[in-house]
């Protein structure tokens, strides 16, 4: 009997010890998972339902991929609705970056973007997203959210790409840098391209971000602004602004200037504005009158002019 009792007790204790160890391990795993979720909620890259075009324009391989603008759009004042992007976004800084090429979403990491202020402080974003520029051929704008300095004494001064951020055609943007546009400056065109509707074009007929009229449009000029824009009355751009956009075109030996007959790709809150052109020719440059659009802070644009590149 004595031997049997002495034998059973260690076995029971061993089972209890194993059971407690399993419970402890399970609890630790739950805690680690909880902490990981909290970190993802507070510091992360957004992976929304962006749309990738099936083809990357071959012509981009002949052009160097560049960071072409960094716009200090909002200082400690992202609106409450920005929680739809990220739960901690309201009240933070917002800074859109525009690139010459579409960006490969799989290469985006928060540590890619280093922001230096006027006083030399260094910051990294807490959140990065393509929203709201999610349509095909729009993935050249990345919105950074976080704390990047304060107006007027210590605004962000420079953005440097310090990680392996790549364009969709495989170019590495590491080392690219640009001066930040100050908070009180108005919006401007960062990039412009033209394209025509082909059979394979992903034509958008939805209410938000609808494309130019298919039958009436000969060529589309896409203007990519440094940040999101609206008309100066706060409404969407429309017929009132048509004559404020001037496109220089070439047809043979003739050079002439036209205005769009319609403005498209609006009402989707992004920085892409399409100008619908009826005339035949090749667009070479676009110019927009001062005081045509405002940014989210209400700052008006200066006269802005940009060379127009061919998408294809």
User: Higher model confidence: residue 91 or residue 15?
Assistant: 91
Bond into 152 cis (ω within 30) = yes
So what's the pLDDT on residue 86? 95
* Cα of 130 vs its chain's centroid, Å: 4
As a whole number, mean pLDDT of residues 222-240 equals: 98
Q: Which class in CATH covers the domain with range 49-185?
A: mainly beta
Name the pairing type of β-strands 293-294 and 272-277.
unpaired
pTM given for the model:
0.84
Residue range(s) occupied by CATH 2.60.40.1220 in the chain: 49-185
The pLDDT of residue 217 is 97
**Architecture of the domain made up of 186-312:** Sandwich (2.60)
Among 144, 168, 172, which residue's Cα sits nearest to residue 156?
A: 144
Asked if residues 137 and 102 have their Cβ atoms less than 8 Å apart, the reply is yes
On average, the pLDDT of the chain sits at 88
Q: How confident is the model at residue 66 (pLDDT cuts 50, 70, 90)?
A: very high
Tens-place pLDDT, residues 134-179: 888 999 999 999 999 999 999 999 999 999 999 999 999 999 999 9
Tell me if residue 146 falls in helix, strand or coil.
strand
Rounded to an integer, the average pLDDT of 68-82 is 98
Distance in angstroms (rounded) separating the CA atoms of residues 20 and 264: 64
Let me know: does 204 contact 211? Beta carbons within 8 Å: yes
């Amino acid at each position: 009997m004595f031997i049997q009792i002495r034998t059973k007790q260690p076995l029971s204790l061993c089972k209890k010890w194993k059971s407690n160890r399993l419970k402890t391990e399970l609890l630790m795993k739950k805690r680690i998972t909880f902490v990981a979720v909290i970190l993802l909620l507070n510091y992360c890259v957004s992976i929304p339902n962006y749309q990738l075009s099936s083809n990357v324009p071959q012509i981009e391989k002949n052009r160097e991929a560049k960071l072409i603008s960094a716009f200090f759009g909002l200082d400690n004042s992202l609106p409450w609705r920005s929680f739809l992007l990220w739960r901690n976004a309201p009240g933070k800084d917002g800074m859109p970056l525009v690139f010459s090429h579409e960006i490969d979403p799989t290469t985006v990491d928060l540590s890619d973007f280093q922001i230096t202020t006027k006083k030399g402080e260094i910051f990294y974003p807490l959140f990065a997203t393509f929203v709201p520029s999610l349509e095909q051929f729009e993935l050249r704008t990345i919105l950074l959210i976080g704390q990047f300095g304060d107006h007027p004494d210590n605004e962000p001064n420079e953005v440097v790409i310090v990680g392996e951020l790549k364009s969709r055609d495989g170019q590495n943007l590491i080392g690219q840098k640009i001066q930040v546009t100050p908070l009180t400056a108005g919006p401007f065109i960062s990039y412009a391209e033209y394209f025509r509707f082909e059979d394979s074009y992903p034509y958008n007929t939805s209410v938000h971000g609808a494309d130019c009229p298919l039958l009436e449009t000969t060529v589309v000029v896409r203007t990519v602004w440094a940040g999101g824009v609206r008309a100066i009355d706060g409404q969407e751009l429309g017929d009132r602004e048509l004559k404020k956009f001037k496109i220089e075109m070439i047809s043979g030996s003739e050079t002439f200037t036209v205005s769009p007959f319609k403005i498209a790709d609006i009402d989707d809150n992004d920085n892409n504005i399409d100008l619908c052109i009826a005339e035949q020719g090749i667009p070479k440059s676009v110019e927009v009158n001062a005081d045509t659009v405002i940014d989210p802070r209400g700052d008006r644009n200066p006269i802005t002019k940009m060379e127009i590149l061919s998408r294809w």
